[in-house]
């Protein structure tokens, strides 16, 4: 088993508002090992993107953050903005959801890469930066002839390839991909997924893939964490979680997935709770079909029901 590259321990991220704190991430513990891809799934508003942004230090001013985030035994919480900026690109990188909002429409693709590379290495010449950009863009299927084009001259799929290339150009150890295929059609999505499959071998990196698409997780991930209302409900290998889910929320998500054998649509009753005032006990209990009295009174601990397969459910043993 590979060594952990990133360790998240009891991470809590609370956004301050006039009505009180929004508990976007509330006690998450997990690790990302060298060379593996971990998927984070869950409904909209469960805290997936906040988890990713907290790892990269991209939270709004005034956000309350506690717990521990360690990258190769280096504590990230408490780093100065300058120290965090040096880590981004060289150690940590992020692929955003919508590439069009992240690329400057007044800059060519070459200028984007030159600016990124020279921000981290002032001794690098523009020619060297361009040469390095060409190499990484080629690996993403973007031809050299497009280097001096502007973002609006590319399709959505090509822009996402460029964003992936920009994330990889400094050869980071950990890549956070936040809904990288949401704005793409299914054909281009399949092409991007093939790229993700090749990333680990070509660049020897660890990937945290944040998505609501369970099919993507099944396709490219080694392990998966299921988030609900700011907490991890289940964590384990893709095979264990998908074939033998323990938490009722995971069971509901999987049952809601449409596939070729689907004959009727299913959904989870109710709505996710407000993160300003989450339910007591198990946060899923107001929607759980197996709820019992203890579920509303006591918060379940994260228990290892199978080797490497964890779930936070009082009655998880009943689903083994």
**Which pLDDT tens digit goes with each residue over 257-311?**
888 788 888 999 999 999 999 999 999 999 999 999 999 999 999 999 999 999 9
Task: Tell how strand 4-15 and strand 64-71 pair up.
Answer: antiparallel
Query: What's the confidence (pLDDT) of residue 170?
Result: 87
Q: What is the mean pLDDT of residues 140-164?
A: 90
The answer to whether residue 102 scores a pLDDT higher than 90 is: no
- For residue 191, pLDDT over 90 is answered with no
Mean pLDDT along residues 87-93: 88
Tokens of 115: 């600016």
Average pLDDT, the chain: 91
* pLDDT band (50, 70, 90) for residue 236: very high
What is the total residue count of the chain?
320
**Res 320: pLDDT:** 86
Q: Which of 97, 102, 13 minimizes the C-alpha distance to 50?
A: 13
Name which of 71-75, 195-199, 253-257 the model is least confident about.
195-199
Query: Could you give the percent of the chain with pLDDT greater than 70?
Result: 99
| Range of lowest pLDDT (61-65, 83-87, 107-111, 221-225) | 83-87
Average pLDDT over residues 195-208: 79
Whole-number pLDDT of residue 18: 92
- Among 188, 245, 180, 241, which residue's Cα sits nearest to residue 209? 180
Task: Put the strands of the sheet holding 174-178 in their side by side order.
Answer: 92-95, 174-178, 206-210, 37-41, 223-228, 231-237, 309-311, 303-306
Arithmetic mean of pLDDT, 242-249? 97
Which domains does the chain carry? 4-105+173-319 (3.40.50.300)
Give the pLDDT confidence of 26-73 residue by residue, as tens digits.
999 999 999 899 999 999 999 999 999 999 999 999 899 999 999 998
Q: What is the pLDDT of residue 81?
A: 87
Query: What percent of the chain is modeled with pLDDT above 90?
Result: 65
Q: Does pLDDT of 100 surpass 80?
A: no
Sign of the dihedral through C-alpha 288, 291, 293, 299: negative
What's the pLDDT score for residue 183? 66
Given a cut of 90, whether residue 168 has pLDDT beyond it is no
pLDDT at residue 1, rounded to an integer: 59
pLDDT of residue 315: 96
Which own/partner pairs from 15-20 qualify as long-range (CB within 8 Å, at least 24 positions apart)? 15/60, 15/63, 15/64, 16/62, 16/63, 16/64, 17/276, 19/276, 20/276, 20/277
Please say if the pLDDT value at position 119 is more than 80: yes
């Amino acid at each position: 088993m590979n060594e952990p590259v990133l360790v998240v321990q009891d991470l809590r991220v609370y956004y301050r508002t006039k009505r009180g704190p929004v508990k976007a991430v509330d006690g998450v513990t997990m690790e990302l090992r060298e060379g593996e891809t971990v998927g984070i799934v869950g409904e909209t508003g469960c805290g997936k993107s906040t988890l990713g942004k907290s790892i990269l230090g991209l939270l709004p001013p005034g956000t309350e953050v506690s717990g521990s985030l360690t990258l190769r035994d280096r504590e990230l919480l408490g780093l100065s903005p300058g120290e965090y900026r040096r880590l981004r690109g060289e150690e940590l990188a992020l692929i955003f959801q919508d590439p069009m909002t992240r690329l400057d429409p007044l800059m060519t693709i070459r200028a984007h890469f030159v600016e990124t590379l020279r921000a981290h290495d002032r001794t690098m010449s523009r020619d060297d930066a361009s040469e390095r950009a060409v190499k990484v863009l080629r690996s993403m299927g973007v031809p050299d002839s497009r280097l001096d084009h502007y973002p609006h001259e590319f399709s959505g799929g090509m822009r996402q390839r460029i964003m992936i290339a920009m994330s990889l150009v400094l050869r980071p150890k950990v890549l956070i991909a936040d809904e990288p295929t949401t704005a793409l059609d299914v054909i281009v999505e399949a092409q991007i997924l093939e790229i993700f499959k090749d990333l680990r071998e070509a660049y020897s990196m660890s990937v945290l893939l944040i998505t609501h698409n369970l099919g993507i997780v099944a396709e490219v991930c080694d392990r998966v964490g299921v988030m609900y209302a700011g907490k991890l409900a289940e964590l384990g290998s893709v095979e264990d979680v998908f074939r033998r889910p323990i938490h009722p929320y995971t069971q509901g998500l999987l049952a809601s997935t449409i596939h070729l054998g689907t004959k009727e649509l299913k959904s989870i009753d109710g709505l996710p709770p407000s993160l300003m005032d989450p339910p007591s006990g198990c946060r899923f209990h107001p929607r759980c079909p197996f709820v019992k009295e203890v579920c509303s009174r006591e918060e379940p601990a994260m228990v290892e029901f199978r080797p490497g397969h964890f779930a936070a459910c009082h009655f998880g043993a009943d689903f083994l």
